[in-house]
């Protein structure tokens, strides 16, 4: 890709980038990744079936506290969804806990803010 900035031949660079990306399963400006599952989940000839999947709320969450008021306001009582029985909630599903350590970052930010305030006060007293 750097060759494009140096004025290289676009067709040759594209061909090389695609070849390298496909060989090493990489994304590039000319390729993308597509996940393909090779496992057959329903054998041929087996009829389709509709099944209600259990809700997987994070551990400790209560369905009524999260969705209860919304469902009471938006849906008529006959159509309102019921909270799933505890036996249908899967406990082996790992849900993400967040992408950052925000509490640590807030503490570091507050410490830096306090330190800068202290330095400003010291500088003001010295001048």
Question: Hey, where are the domains in the chain?
Answer: 1-34
Confidence of residue 43 (pLDDT cuts 50, 70, 90): confident
Report residue 68: phi and psi, to 5°. Answer: -55, -55
**Mean pLDDT value of segment 39-67:** 78
| Of 2-16, 17-31, 38-52, the least confident | 38-52
Predicted model pTM:
0.30
**Mean pLDDT value of segment 56-75:** 73
What is the structure's pLDDT at 46? 83
DSSP character string of 11-31: HHHHHHHHHHHHHHT---SS-
The answer to whether the beta carbons of residues 86 and 55 sit under 8 Å apart is no
- Is the predicted pLDDT of residue 50 greater than 80, yes or no? yes
Where helices occur in 25-101 by DSSP H, the ranges are 63-74
Q: How far is CA 51 from CA 41, 48, 54, in A?
A: 14, 10, 9
Alpha-carbon distance of 65 to 102, in angstroms, equals: 25
Q: What is the rounded average pLDDT for all residues in the chain?
A: 78
Confidence of residue 74 (pLDDT cuts 50, 70, 90): low
What is the structure's pLDDT at 93? 54
Select the more confidently predicted residue: 55 or 52. Answer: 52
């Amino acid at each position: 890709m750097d060759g494009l900035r140096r004025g290289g031949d676009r067709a040759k660079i594209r061909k090389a980038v695609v070849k390298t990306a496909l060989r090493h399963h990489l994304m590039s400006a000319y390729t993308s990744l597509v996940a393909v599952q090779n496992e057959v989940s329903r054998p041929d000839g087996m009829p389709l079936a509709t099944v209600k999947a259990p809700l997987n709320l994070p551990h400790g969450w209560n369905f009524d506290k999260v969705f209860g008021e919304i469902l009471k306001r938006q849906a008529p009582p006959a159509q309102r969804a019921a909270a799933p029985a505890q036996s249908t909630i899967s406990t082996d599903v790992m849900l993400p806990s967040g992408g950052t350590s925000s509490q640590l970052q807030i503490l570091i930010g507050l410490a830096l803010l306090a330190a800068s305030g202290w330095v400003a006060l010291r500088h003001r007293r010295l001048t």
